[in-house]
Structure 1
Amino acid sequence: MRTVDVLVVGAGLAGLHTACLLARRGLNVLVVDRRRSLSTGIRTTGIFVRRTLDDFDLPDHLLGPGIRDVLLYPPSRRAPIRLTSDRDEYRVADMAAVYEHARRAAESAGARVLLGVRYVEASRGSVRFADAEPVTARFIVGADGARSQVARDLGLDVNRRFLLGAEIVHPVASGTATPAFHCVLDPRVAPGYLGWVIDDGRHAHVGVAGYPDAMRTGIRHLLDAFAADAPGRVAPAGPIERRGGPIPVGGVLRRLVCPAGLLVGDAAGAVSPLTAGGLDPCLRMSGLAAAVAAEYLRTGDRRILSRYDGDALRARFRGRLLLRRAFAGIRSPVAAEAAVTALRGRAGRALAARILFGDGSFPDVDSRLADPATGHPGR
């Protein structure tokens, strides 16, 4: 039976970034993913925010044009609130290409990446797969998504609060629209969250997300109905791709780590409870996770694992959790109209701009622990 220092289950952005950082530290790292291609099963919109682009080395050619305008719509779709930044706040990535870039970086660092290998279970360091020989792993990193099986096998916390999201992605003719991010607060199509259109001049992403128990007519129906008259929508210039899946919004889980392994990405609840954005926190937490795992494996000192403390991370976003609960309570069009109206004033616009254009990160982890080569979080 083959032995590895670290087994990473899941070849998404969190798993590949963690694997790369661990391999740079000289560890024997194996990554497995049940998908046979990283271009299949993509669930994220691929929106990178400015603070991520500032701190992480993402190839410019994999990113769409910068987006500075955000328009917030009430259910009536009339008189949206326009917020404009003096900087590029968002860029939408070609996520299939980003995953391939992350895979090459991990492999260049020395990690081995195996696709088409389905994780079955882990027990006392012995790991079984459905499609490959078992391995013995000193440490396991669960990067296997919002409903992580690794978390259950390791006895760690699991996500219990979700939004269900779905979107249509299609190419658009160049120059047909100014890049913008359109957000619709309408509980009839997205109970407790948003409908959105983000058009970066290359692709348009049209999506909806809400609480599963409130989306009684079905997310496919709601998405298709919203796409028919979504604001800012432009005619497709090519084939349509559909994406979707659960989005954990309960915040970072409390119990993230044990002597046998830890969780990263969606498996760790590393998604902003308020905006449901997960790419920035997944990269930042992966840096911290890799530093903690590498030091623990080097020394065997279990006290090091306390640095990857979910309770400490949760303490930094209590405000987001409170706002998430308030947002979840908006279940009628009248309440949604009133909420948007409240944002029209100076204080409301300032709050919205702080959330959408803020300089903070989620979670705010110590970047000095992230990358052994540079001291930056993955740069």
Structure 2
Amino acid sequence: MASNSGFTMTLPTLDSKNYEIWHIQMKVLFDYQEVLEIVQNGYQSVGEDATEAQRSTFRECKKRDCKTLFMIHQCVDESNFEKISSAKTTKEAWDNLEKCYAGAEKVNKVNLQTLRREYELLQMKDGDAITYYFTKIGSLTNLMKGCGEVMRDQLVVEKVFRTLNPKFDHVVVAIEESKDLEVFKSEELQSSLEAHEQRIKERNSDRNFDLALQAQSSRRSFGQGNFQKKFKVKWKTDKGRNYEGARFKVVHGNGPEIEARLDQGEEFEEERVLLMATSEDEVKDDCWYLDTCCSNHMSGHKDWFERLDENGKSRVKFADHSSINTEGVGDISIRRKDGKSASIKNVLYVQKMKNNMLSLGQLLEKWYEMTMADKLLNVYDCDKNLILRVPLSKNRTFKIRIQVNNHKCLMSKATHEN
């Protein structure tokens, strides 16, 4: 539509969902065309005894009314056109649309109550941008004004203060202390918050860039050259004798490898660990995963069991609700780093299981204690002796290599005579 000023306007179109917005836009358009009074109040017809001046005024009003009615016809879709097709004047067509959508007072009250509730429950979410949140508040505010609600700008400002993300709390305090909230506009508040939001984004991007450079530099320095770390351990046996030795040397080169050897006559600075830690380059058959969600120790290596009760069969249920049968329960003999033997009790034998599992819950039942700190899982026995130290692997799991003693499995199976 071309206006008298020479620029082209796109007319809004009424459908079944946008009456409130269309109503506001059309009122502005009618006011611009200087026909809003005819739309709201109509015009008076003249009688046969009217003067020439009255007849001239009537013809002019009727001409403007027809022009406005044609404009309304252009601004509705086909379904709404059927509602006003029989209207003879602009006021009649306008009133018909108001009655269909928002003319009834009861409908306005119900709509206003719904909008008020939605407005009060509106909160800024963590991922919302300031522009997006102010757009949502502005849309609800305009809809409430269209239903007759009086919305002062100060109420909108207070609403924003109450529902902003906590990261803007210090900005809110600064504004409340420095500004007169009685004359403070929501547009000023939006611009201040957007400036602070942009500053936060810039700082976060700079920090992420610095972290990326630091990580890249760390990877390079770790992969170049060889360096050695030596850890010393000092321990006391159950009989009270002091032993010194067990130096651990970790050599980093093209690939990490861990080796242990026994020495004597040297002092040690760290606690003795009875089981061997594993490297992270690959998963071996003798690797065990320590898991809090696993309810029982489990292994799929039947030849590891020094004793296996095949009568203790059960079913194991996994997180995906699948299940598998266990073929028995028994003990696995292992060799500690001091050469002594120990046993892992009550291990379920799961024939098709590829990974070995150590249940932290089952260890807790045996009065073991666990601590997790500095990317290390430490396990202590009931005498507070450190028996296991496992580093966090690259895939955020705890796995350890345990040497199993060579032996023949002794199976027990109950038989019943007829």
TM-score, length of structure 1 as denominator length: 0.21
Q: Which has the larger radius of gyration?
A: 2
Q: TM-score, normalised to structure 2's length? A: 0.19
Identify, as 1 or 2, the structure richer in helix: 2
Structure with more contact order per residue of length (Cα contacts < 8 Å, sep ≥ 6): 1
